[in-house]
Amino acid sequence: MAVETSEMTGVEIVDLASTPLRELNRRLHGLADGAPGPRRWRVLNPNGAHAVGCGLDADIDVEIEGHVGYYCAGMNKLATVRVHGNAGPGLAENLMSGTVIVEGSASQSAGATGRGGLLVVYGDASARCGISMKGIDIVVRGSVGHLSAFMAQTGCLVVGGDVGEALGDSIYEACLYVRGEVAGLGADCVEKGLEDEHVAELARLLERAGFDDLDPRDFRRYGSARQLYNFKIDNAGAY
């Protein structure tokens, strides 16, 4: 088994060029509930593998040296996962807690259905970023695609670049901050005022993401107009 432990740094090194991904995930899952084992991991040669570091439930640090495929760090709880590359669809899907950081760009549905924790993308994120988010905070330094924050319930989506069509379509109570241009707003999503409390919240998020060089007052805030919460007989034809 190609697993190497560095005595000097205390980092467990796993090379996926010679170690099965299932073996890596099995060892990571074995650290749940405070089980003994390495707390720092370095994964080499992921080569676009799917579900790397998926389903973690331990306070550990996992560094992935390269690009990953679908569902990297999905269902993560407690762990900090950093990808030194790009990520495929479903990055940090259903994130529960902890932190997921991608130093490149992410494909569609990043952070989908996330219930907590922080997702940071240094580059761009594709369509449907943060759909059905339920408490996750997502900070994207670049731009995001269409239908981002679709049916977003709670949490924050911060976008340092531009946003595609239908931002926040059918949004509930999530808070959206955008620094660049918005191609179009979805149903029931409207621009709202940026008050001091929102500036403070945004500043905290940018600092946590490592983007404190961005001025929170350069952003605009979007949220729900709260017109879709209840059935209205006058709008029956639209349902």
d(C-alpha 232, C-alpha 227), whole Å: 9
The three-state secondary structure class of 3 is strand
SS3 content of the chain, % helix, strand, coil (to 5): 15, 30, 60
1 and 13 Cβ atoms separated by less than 8 Å: no
From CA 126, how far away is CA 215, in angstroms rounded? 24
- The domain segmentation of the chain, as residue ranges, is 48-228
DSSP state of 151: T
Q: What is the mean pLDDT of residues 101-117?
A: 98
Specify whether the CB–CB gap between 77 and 54 falls below 8 A. no
**Residue 124 scores a pLDDT above 90:** yes
Instruction: Say how far apart CA 89 and CA 141 lie, in whole Å.
Output: 18
- pLDDT digit string (tens) for 169-191? 999 999 999 999 999 999 999 99
* CB 21, CB 28: distance < 8 Å: no
Cβ-based neighbours of 141, under 8 Å, separated by 6 or more: 120, 121, 122, 123, 160, 161, 209, 211
Indicate the SS3 state at residue 64.
Answer: strand
* pLDDT at residue 217 tops 60: yes
Least confident span in 25-29, 109-113, 232-236: 232-236
Dihedral pair phi/psi, residue 87, rounded to 5°: -130, 145
Ordered alpha helix ranges (H), 44-146: none
> Quick check: 236 pLDDT over 70?
no
| Residue 228 confidence class, pLDDT cut points 50, 70, 90 | confident
Task: Give the pLDDT confidence score for residue 163 in this predicted structure.
Answer: 98
Q: Where are the alpha helices (DSSP H) in the chain?
A: 21-29, 196-209
Q: Supply the pTM of this predicted model.
A: 0.93
Residue 99 predicted with pLDDT over 50: yes
Domain 48-228, CATH number (from 2.30.110.10, 2.60.120.10, 2.160.20.60, 2.60.40.10): 2.160.20.60
pLDDT over 70 at 100, yes or no: yes
